[in-house]
Each structure stands twice: as C-alpha cells, then as structure tokens.
Structure 1
C-alpha cells in the first residue's frame, strides 16, 4: 500500500475533501492520518485489530479509515443509524470488533473498548489476513433478501485497481456512505486520482443539488431510486448544475422511464450504468449510450460469463469470504451473482432483475422491473415496488405497493392503475393486488424495498 501514501503526499495542496465539516487539502489530510497513530495506540489499537468506525462520511472518518489501513487493521465502517444501535452489537460480534470510534460530528468523536468475542479471533479468514499483515475491510449486506452477511476484503487487493488504472481527477459527490462498496469505490477512485470528494450527509434532492452547485461537483454516483426522487422533486430547477459531467447509477435495476426522463432533463450530462457487488467490488462498465440500459461489463482483472441467463463474475478484487456464511465462490473462483440478464449481438448485456425476485405465474416468469416501469408512467405515481405473493391456483400473483405524489383514494388508485397496466401488459403481468404505501419505499441506502425489507 506504499503506492497510496506516496500518491496522496504527491498531490500536495490540491483539495482532497470539501463539504460537511469543512475542506482539507491532501498534505494536511496525510498529516491527519499520521496524527491518528498516537490516538490509536492510546486506545489499544494495533496491527490486526478489528475496529469499527461509526459516523457520516467526513474528513474525520476518512482520515481515520486511512490511518487504520496504514496500521494494518480490520476496518468495519458503519452508518450512524444503520443498523440501529440495539442491533449493532451482533454485527460487531461477528467480526470480533475490539474498539469502536463513534463520531457525532466531523471532528468530534469518542472511543470505547469492547470485550473480545469468544471464537472470532480464530476465524480462518481473519487469521490468514493478520498473518500477511494486510489491512482488511468488512462490509455487511443490507439484508433485504435474507440473512445479513459479513464480507471480508483485503484492502490491498480491493484497491489494487486504482494503483495502475488511469483516471481523470474530478470533483465527485460522495453519495454512498463508507459502509457500502459503492461508497468505498467512490472515495478511493477520487483520492487515488487526486480528485476532490464532495461530502453532503443530508441526502435529499435539495441538499444534493445545493452541494453540486456550491462545490462545482462534476460526478454524481447514485441510485436509480434517488434519481427518480430528484426528477419528481424538481429541485434541479432551482440550482446551477452546469458543472455536472457524469451521472452514474447502480445497486438496483434502472427503469426505462426514469432513464429516458433523466436523459431528457440533463442532455449535456453523460449517463453511465455501474455494476458491482459487496462480494466482488465495482467492475468496470461501459454503457452503450446515455439513454441505453445495455452495457459491457468487465476489463483487466475482471471476467464475466452468462450461465442459463444469469451473470457470473470472477474478480481479482473479490472478497476473501464471508465471516458468518458459506463461501459463495465455486472452485474456480466464479460467483453466481443471481442477476438475470439479456445479451445483445455485440456482447453487451442488460440487467433485468434478481433471479430470486422473479415472479412465477403458472410457469410464466415476470420480472418486477418490467411492471414497475409501466406503473411509473401512470399519473400520480412517485415510486413503486412490485413483488410476488403466493397463490394456491397460479403459484404466485403480481402485487404492487405504490407511493403516490398527491393523496388519492386507495380503491380508485388501484382501479385506475390496473386499467393502465392492462393496456400495456399481458394479463398475467397485471398486478392482481395494488396497495397504497403509507411511507417511503426506500431505505437509508436509497434502494427500493418492499413489504418485508
């Protein structure tokens, strides 16, 4: 990892981080990283220690994460409210976290020690990592599709792509938090290229637009759910977003209607679909064009293949494994992503949804994203989540949970939307049950979630 420290020092007085908590250039940021050494020693943190960092992305949390990497620690980043404090202990126990640094403000933090978790210190993956002296990273899956999983990465392996990959320095909005693989990717993409990480912890459409305008952000990496919110809010009309050059989106399928609206609203901004998993890191992608959902996936150090309509990935930067679940890789290192895809003649592909979330109606498969795209084109629909529900006759039926823009009688809404769907969809694809949502349909990571998320 010496390459990283030498590179950061070499960027000198370029602006490294700006936004919540002020601004800092690279030289003083590196000084802060080294200044943590005394604090870490005083807290009993040494090489191989498992340390949780709880807080919003800021100069303080960024410098601490860098310091822990330099000391060869296992870093466990957590957002302040995800998971809830009462559920946090179980996750910390999985990793055997010994010290927790909790930030209440960018420069305001406290640390407390935890008792060692019996048996965790001897986990083969952690032991192997500590033997090599490499820093580690533990990221937890969101748990929206089942059991929460703790993925252990080697930081040198994960970040190696930034050592040689040519990248242009840009001012990137740090949208995803550091407890998400997308947030880690955005941060180190920015820092390794001498760019500027623009931090805004209040992720509303208004605040994000204000941050882009104030700090002249060029790159907005986000989710389709947030982009849908941005378009509906109209907040972009009240701010100067002329600095934007690129919007990237990932973590969930993009709906065609949203992408089309986005391309029409920001004609001078390039739109690019990204692809990655907690287990594999973020893969290189290239969208066929801004308004297309077709993309090529892979590049040096990354391989893909399609097996029975499902995408498989092999990555040099993949995780070492789960700390609490069986190894998901096959004997050759390939991972079944669970994402159903369609491929084009030129080799590009389109993600059509999670295979596990497809709805089977009398042998006919329905992918939620297709139905959601139709519902989003109807009036007074802010967002929607389509899911399958067990049915004794057909096996499953299609259900839709709809978030409306303006208040509307639930029965009238359901009748109107079923009629709308019937003009576009096959009969088995039309939602049999349409319910009006009583709260927002996204979680803290701005991914859609349904009734059981």
Structure 2
C-alpha cells in the first residue's frame, strides 16, 4: 500500500476499513479502496503538472471529484470546489486557476487574468500549504472569495473516532457545511450518500429509506418540505437518529412539529460560516453553546474567532475581521445562562433587518408568529420600499391545500392573529399567496425580491 504523507489521508485509508463503502453517488457504490486508488491516480496527474497550484474542481460528491480534493490535500495544492451552475463563469474570473477539472475531464487554464495572485495565495504557496477557496452565496451582491488554510481545518478531524454509519451528503460540494459533512464522514470511515438533484425531497426521502441513513445534515427549509410533503408517511425514515440543521434560523413552531413527526430523532443546531468554519455546539432548549471558539457580542451582534477561520477575502474588504481577529458574523443573538454556562440564540441576520421609519423588524420573528396559524404551511417575510416609512413588511404565504382564501381575507386573518403578538408596524401590509417558496442552491429561503 502506497504511503500518504498527509495524516488525514493516512487516517481515512486505514487498511482495516478498505472494503467499507466510502461513497454512494447516484446509486453507484465506491469502497475506500476504490477511493484510495482513484486518489493515487489523481496524485500522479497533479505530479505531472507540478507547477500547477490552484485546482478548480467542478463536480459533486462523485468519486472523481472527492479523489481530486484528497489529492490536492496530499500535494499541498489549493483546491477550489465548485458546482456547475449559472454563476460559475463569473466565479472563475475571480481566480487565477491553473487546472480546471470538470466531471472527469482535466483542462489547463491558458487565459489567466493579468492581476497576478493575491498575497494570501502567494503566502500559502510559499509555505507549501494545502489551501481551500470558497465563495460566499452572493445573496447580497457579488460572491466573496474566501481563502482557508486547509491543513488547519483538517486538524479538527484527525481525532474523530471510527463509526461506520450512513450519512446523507445534502449540503453542496462547494459549501462549508457540505465539506464539513464530507470530511467528517471520511474521518469516521463512514459512508456518504448523495444524489445530484438535492431539491427533490422525494428522492432524498427515498435515499434515506433505501440506504438506512442515520445522519441527516439539513436546512430548516428542507425539513419543512419533508413535513409539508408527508415524507414520513410515504417512506420508511425510521433509520434516522440525528438531524443537524443550520444555514438559517429554525422557527420554534417548525422544530416542535419535527420532534412530533420524528420522536426518535435528536435535532442538533449547528453553527458556522464560510469565513470561520463549523463550530461545535451544545443545545439548551432553543439556545446553543458555542464550543472551541472565542466570541463576543457587540450591540447584540455575534463576533467569533476560531482556529479554523479563513485567512481573508481575495476580492473584498477584510474589515469584517477586527483588530483582535474576531469575525463579524452579521448574526443577531439573545443570551441566556444555565448552570454557569452561556448559551446564545440566533434571532436573525443584521442585513435582513427591516427598517420601518426607524423601528426595526426581524423577518424571522414575524415568520415565527405567522407559522403558528394552523392553515398556513409556509411563509417568507421580506421588505419592500415605502415612500412614507422607507420600508414596509411584506409576506409570501403558502396555504395548506384544503384552505382556500382570497389575499384580502388572508390579510385580515393574519392581522387578527398577529395583533396581540406583534407590534402593529411588524404585521405585514402586503400579502401574496404563492404555491411554493423559492430556495437557493444552498436550500435557503430567497429574501431578495
């Protein structure tokens, strides 16, 4: 067996577990032995192009894409995982990559821009360190290019205990949460299962049933769709033992419904951003305790400093990192204490705050109240310009199938329900009934209208 220099690769390619399945992608099975052999092949390809440092991997959780990511780790290359979507050309213009890998085909970039390499990239290369470049979602503008010291991130997984379970790889290949799930999975010699169409809840539920998946990392929006679509009644989801959720706020009413629908499942809130990585958490009611990080709260906004945080942006102002190295997350929090420990609750995003003539409104607070109305299946609260107050609170509403109401009738019922639960300025003045809400590629509600 060929030697790997990187400790993470030595761990995951332990001889004892080589016959275990490592990946199942689109119903194709790959053992750790097959993944190892594929990784060795990719290492030889990269070695033949030794001067290439930045490797773009356009793919998914298929064996080739994962193997190339591992090869980049072994050879201290800078990996840039991307999914094939409409923004990909704009993303490629932001970086001077050397090799472009797309679903098994490798090409060389002969059209690099004339900007040279950023000092952060030059430093990683000069130190011969493995790197990782991620892009932010771009929900509020141009996606930011975020650079990580990949080896520093991998140190988090080295001491993971082996546990052969089946895990759904739901979050995207180019997403910090998705990569965290993949690296966790490999470090435990578990099996990661993925389908290409991850917006298809029937396909996801079918995979949970077929492969007896016990760990599901998801977004609240996906979990709500599971409830709305009655997936627990159509498929056998009894193998599920742990559901981790993050990426957006979980409405308390939704969490209560999920616990009733899946009584044997433990629900654990995770926390992380592309800039700081994924943070370990401990739950207390609907609060979490952030572990293994330093944090501070200024004007109710969370600032975090972690061992896995990024080296900075390539194409944006790095002032979001303060002089002490804390990253300004943009998350607004409440604080409570239990048994001498501090817990926080994410109540919304600063950038999503609606300003009604100086009064502040968090969309998630309004959604949490509206979702208590029995005949409402889902909702999205957002802002719209208003000539008098500057902004106005609006809502898109998905009704349960059996309920038929006109927008005017619905508006009256929502106002009546909310009047003793919300301040008047927080109650939506515009209501639109829709068949379904729109979700981003990362399965978060799209608030940009």
Q: Give RMSD over aligned pairs.
A: 2.0
**Counterpart Cα distance in 2 of 1:451 and 1:94:** 23
| TM-score relative to the length of structure 2 | 0.91
Alignment partner of 1:69 is 2:73: yes
Structure 1 gaps of 5+ residues are: 104-108
**2:146/2:312 contact within 8 Å kept:** yes
8 Å CA contact retained: 1:310, 1:337: yes
Q: 1:97 aligned to 2:97?
A: yes
| Separation (CA, whole Å) in 2 of partners of 1:253 and 1:312 | 17
Specify the SS of the correspondent of 1:317.
Answer: coil
Which residue in the other structure is 2:167 paired with?
172
Match of residue 84, structure 2, among 68, 80, 83: 80
Q: Is the 8 A contact 1:154 1:319 kept in 2?
A: yes
- How far apart are residue 252 of structure 1 and its match? 0.5
Q: For the Cα contact (< 8 Å) 1:383–1:441, is it kept in 2?
A: no
Q: In structure 1, what is the equivalent of residue 50 of structure 2?
A: 46
Partner of 1:231: 227
**Cα separation, 2, equivalents of 1:100 and 1:243:** 39
Q: How does 1:145-156 map to 2 (within 5 A)?
A: 145-156=140-151
Counterpart-to-counterpart distance in 1, 2:185 and 2:304: 25
Instruction: Tell me, yes or no, if the aligned pair for 2:300 and 2:334 is still in contact at 8 Å.
Output: yes
Shift of 1:60: 2.0
CA distance in 2, matches of 1:167, 1:151: 31
Asked if 1:287 corresponds to 2:301, the answer is: no
Per-residue CA deviation, residues 3-30 of structure 1 (Å, 9 max, x unaligned), is 1121122132222112425122212211
What's 2:381 paired with?
A: 386
In the other structure, the counterpart of 2:355 is 360
Give structure 1 regions of 4+ aligned residues with deviation exceeding 6 angstroms.
Answer: none
In the alignment, what sits opposite 1:57?
Answer: 61
2:187 and 2:272 mapped to 1: Cα distance? 19
**1:76-126, CA deviations, whole angstroms, 9 ceiling, x for partnerless residues?**
111122xx1xx42221121212322212xxxxx323322242344431011
1:255 aligns with 251
- Is 1:317 equivalent to 2:308 in the alignment? yes
- Using the alignment, how far apart are the partners of 1:277 and 1:89 within structure 2? 24
The 3 A distance-change label for structure 1 pair 8 and 54 is same
User: How do 1:13-412 residues align onto structure 2 when only pairs under 5 Å count?
Assistant: 13-40=19-46, 45-46=49-50, 48-81=52-85, 84=86, 87-103=87-103, 109-166=104-161, 168-203=163-198, 204-288=200-284, 292-299=285-292, 302-327=293-318, 328-346=320-338, 347-406=342-401, 409-412=406-409
Following superposition, the deviation at residue 389 of structure 1 comes to 2.9
Structure 2 contact 221–445 (Cα < 8 Å) conserved: yes
Asked if 1:417 corresponds to 2:421, the answer is no
Aligned to 1:450: 447
Distance between the aligned counterparts of 1:379 and 1:157, measured in 2? 47
TM-score with structure 1 setting the length: 0.91
Task: String of CA shifts for 1:382-405, please: whole Å, max 9, x gaps.
Answer: 332212334343343211122344
Unaligned 5+ runs, structure 2:
none
State whether residues 163 and 188 of structure 2, in contact with CA within 8 Å, keep that contact through their aligned partners in structure 1. Answer: yes
1:442 to partner: Cα distance: 1.0
Which of 384, 405, 429 does residue 426 from structure 2 map onto? 429
Helix, strand or coil: the match of 1:128?
helix
Q: Structure 1 residues 396, 276: CA separation in 2 closer, same or farther (over 3 Å shift)?
A: same
Pair 1:120–1:190, CA change in 2 (3 A): farther
